[in-house]
Structure 1
Amino acid sequence: MTGTGTVPDLRTGQTRNLALATLAFTISFWAWNLIAPLGVSYAEAMGLSATEKAMIVATPVLVGSVGRILAGALTDRYGGRAMFTVLLLLTAPFVLLVALAGTLGSYPLMLLFGFFLGIGGTTFAVGIPFANAWYEKSRRGLATGIFGAGMGGTALSAFFTPRFVRWFGYTATHVIIAVALVAVAALVWTTMRDSPVWTPNTSPVVPKLVAAAKLPITWQMSFLYAVAFGGFVAFSTYLPTYLKDVYEFDLTGAGTRAAGFAIAAVIARPIGGVLSDRLGPRRVAATSFAGAAVLAVVVALKPPPELLAGTAFVLLAGFLGLGTGGVFAWIAVTAPQERVGSVTGIVGAAGGLGGYFPPLVMGATYDAVTHSYTIGLALLCIVAVIALIYTLVGVRTPRPTATSSPADGG
């Protein structure tokens, strides 16, 4: 309600602002995933072991995960327009510094600058509360799903980054991405607007995070998102290395196929949001984890390329994408509106951390003799089954009212 007692018209500006948020999320995720598509070439140039190679791929995920906690809380206070602008501008110089580390062939500098490159991954915690405020509760699954499709920036990075390096050169590629970040930041600042129903939450950040941490839904969704989004991030960042090790694809070929994986998850995410609005997020999340468990086993069997292996990876991506859409649709209808940013930050951090450790596990358990990642994929299957059981019997949410969307799905 406004001060005059009238209900603001959310429809005006709704589509434009969601599109801008999705664009900002997409380019920031491209930057966040800038190292992974070139990980194989870095490993060869620097003489890295499998574990060291996994570290440079996974390190940007770390700050992009933990940083979401602060980014989400600050979004509650300063709004999406300001936070998108600041985070895009902060990411740009580290894109250039990563290029410097690569040119120097310095593994320590690549780890250092890659860590701060993770700032680009924090924009996720900005966009979810921003989109929530622009849409009524019954359409928030759709809105967060569409925004979440911006994780397709990882697909763009996997597909275009190796090609940009070939077309324009290594340094020029990083300059292009840095300029794009600055340009989108300018566009966001001049044309984006926060929702008319959004009001700043000026409470101190630490008590606000503590309050969000006391909500059961925060930790329930953190676990589920760590499995769904963590699985997506782990595969989208590590897949080029996986495909080279197991199927002996070259850098461009592996990047192209990793892009296909990411695109499948991107398409599935808004579908998961829409289905959650209609069927309830519990059913969507359960379907996601069941499918991921089955597909992890299929992938571990090393089906032959292209058709069988490609189909298995696309289906795995699709199930993980459904889960990411379902989890945040669940948050949208259960978390208190004034806490959405803080809850999103914590849950988003859990998802990012869920993507940080699997590449390290994959690198540590890789069998170079048989070119196999069986142990890592078996662990994914086990975790997905645990998440499935927890989704069905462990998460307890209030029954939906006649005016709300089906949070419980049953």
Structure 2
Amino acid sequence: MTTDAAATAATGTQELPGRTKNLLLALLAFTITFWAWNLVAPLAVQYTAEMGLTSTEASLLIATPVLVGSLGRILTGAFTDRFGGRLMFTVLTAASAVPVVLVALAGVWGSYALMIAFGFLLGIAGTTFAIGIPFVNAWYEPAKRGFATGLFGAGMGGTALSSFFTPRMVAWFGYVATHLIIAGALLVVAVIVWLFMRDSPLWKPNTAPVMPKLKAASKLAVTWQMAFLYAVTFGGFVAFSTYLPTYLKEVYGYDLADAGARTAGFAIAAVIARPVGGWLSDRIGPATVLSISLSGAAVMAVVIALQPPPELAAGASFVLMALFLGLGTGAVFTWVAQRAPAERVGTVTGIVGAAGGLGGYFPPLVMGATYNAEAHSYTIGLSLLCLTALVALGFVIFLARRERRAAR
């Protein structure tokens, strides 16, 4: 592409050829790695029974991949600014196949310690989110980045696929074979990405050393503002999608397959809502969308704590919670795209994405620690979610008012 054509595309008057193909390839890689990232949670009930785990031990097992997948995004985002999305997607998608196989071995051996260790490595698969946001941003003009990054973010539906299919695949093919199939799929997608994906012609590598880039991004107010909001919205989604199979078993008595199917429904609702949140943010502003998201999440936390009866009432409650959280995740990265410097989007995304993952790491631990076994109740954990959503809502209102004053 010539310089003039690139400049024209950058102004939004001409779209870059191939951007849809590259967006879909990024979505594919993100989806399959998120499936791998969520391999432990859908089988947590099985692991708990086979290894005799306590509620706290099971919560730690579920949360461990989330931890690495969160913190790893910081470096992944910074490396993406330097090496580009094509290389980073290829390397991390292929590398994720290794811990998938190791987790299978730990399960066969019945070793809780190895499950924790290999689950830690499995977190690598969760870092790919920090690749996709700067990669997609470079392909799309600012007016369409909310929808584009929201559509890419729908790849978090990999957790839905995992929740629904992983327990069924174990029943159909066996435990080890299921993990080998996922590992093989990761390697196939890595090859496809390398062969067909291309970085945007407008993307330029930021070759500055990683640590100074992280330090510079950490000094931006937008980094920590969006990190907090993403910790609440995406963290809430991750916490529910990973812990929901256990929650549904304890509160409603569902078996592994039924709990997985309902968890998949929750994740699909959030996946659908995410690009809608980005699209709406392009039109009415991310602050407005986040206000709707957080208000709804606070209300639904109270409703879910009251344990509505299955199927219709409980199902509708969880779907509404997923929709509100999904809207918020799409809105946050529209705000990032609007406010972060173009050359630091990857680094900022890494930090914000890490915060989102960490937001999903602690709630399962809290839910496990505060679970009332006699009443089959998670009221304390859900009350804390409601309070957190309300605090975040107040913060969004504060930021929106400050931006309006600055614009005058």
TM-score (normalizing by structure 1): 0.96
Kindly report the root-mean-square deviation, in angstroms, between the aligned alpha carbons of the 2 structures: 1.6
Unaligned runs of 5+ in 2: none
Name the SS of the counterpart of 2:254 in structure 1. coil
Q: Tell me what 1:201 maps to.
A: 206
1:105 aligned onto 2:110: yes
Instruction: Indicate which of 248, 254, 264 corresponds to 1:249.
Output: 254
1:36 aligned onto 2:36: no
Q: Tell me what 1:405 maps to.
A: none
What amino acid sits opposite 1:121 in the alignment?
A: G
**Distance in 2 between residues matched to 1:19 and 1:400, nearest whole Å:** 39
Unaligned runs of 5+ in 1: 402-407
Instruction: Report if aligned partners of 2:234, 2:326 keep a CA contact under 8 Å in 1.
Output: yes
Aligned residues: 403
Instruction: Indicate which of 236, 242, 249 corresponds to 2:241.
Output: 236
How many percent of aligned residue pairs carry the same amino acid? 68
Instruction: Indicate which of 296, 313, 331 corresponds to 2:301.
Output: 296
Q: Tell me what 1:356 maps to.
A: 361
* Cα distance, 1:10 vs structure 2: 4.0
Q: Tell me what 1:138 maps to.
A: 143
Instruction: Indicate which of 268, 275, 288 corresponds to 1:270.
Output: 275
**Distance in 2 between residues matched to 1:86 and 1:267, nearest whole Å:** 28
Q: Tell me what 2:311 maps to.
A: 306
- Within 5 A, what are the aligned runs for 1:145-294? 145-294=150-299
- Bigger share in helix: 2
* Cα distance, 1:124 vs structure 2: 0.2
Instruction: Report if aligned partners of 1:25, 1:127 keep a CA contact under 8 Å in 2.
Output: yes
Per-residue Cα deviation, 1:110-152 (whole angstroms, up to 9, x for no partner): 0000001000000000000000000000000000000000000
* Cα distance, 1:394 vs structure 2: 3.8
Instruction: Indicate which of 393, 398, 402 corresponds to 1:393.
Output: 398
What amino acid sits opposite 2:233 in the alignment?
A: A
Name the SS of the counterpart of 1:249 in structure 2. coil
**Distance in 2 between residues matched to 1:25 and 1:6, nearest whole Å:** 27
What amino acid sits opposite 2:238 in the alignment?
A: V
* Cα distance, 1:89 vs structure 2: 1.2
* Cα distance, 1:90 vs structure 2: 1.1
**Distance in 1 between residues matched to 2:104 and 2:5, nearest whole Å:** 54
Residues 200 and 353 of structure 1: CA distance in aligned 2, closer, same or farther (over 3 Å): same
Per-residue Cα deviation, 1:3-35 (whole angstroms, up to 9, x for no partner): 567535643101000000000000000000000
Per-residue Cα deviation, 1:76-112 (whole angstroms, up to 9, x for no partner): 0000000001101111010000000000000000000
Instruction: Report if aligned partners of 2:6, 2:201 keep a CA contact under 8 Å in 1.
Output: no
**Distance in 2 between residues matched to 1:157 and 1:400, nearest whole Å:** 45
1:342 aligned onto 2:363: no
TM-score (normalizing by structure 2): 0.96
Per-residue Cα deviation, 1:142-176 (whole angstroms, up to 9, x for no partner): 00000000000000000000000000000000000
Instruction: Report if aligned partners of 1:334, 1:397 keep a CA contact under 8 Å in 2.
Output: no
Instruction: Report if aligned partners of 1:232, 1:355 keep a CA contact under 8 Å in 2.
Output: yes
Instruction: Report if aligned partners of 2:299, 2:386 keep a CA contact under 8 Å in 1.
Output: yes
What amino acid sits opposite 1:226 in the alignment?
A: A
Per-residue Cα deviation, 1:54-82 (whole angstroms, up to 9, x for no partner): 01100000000000000000000000000
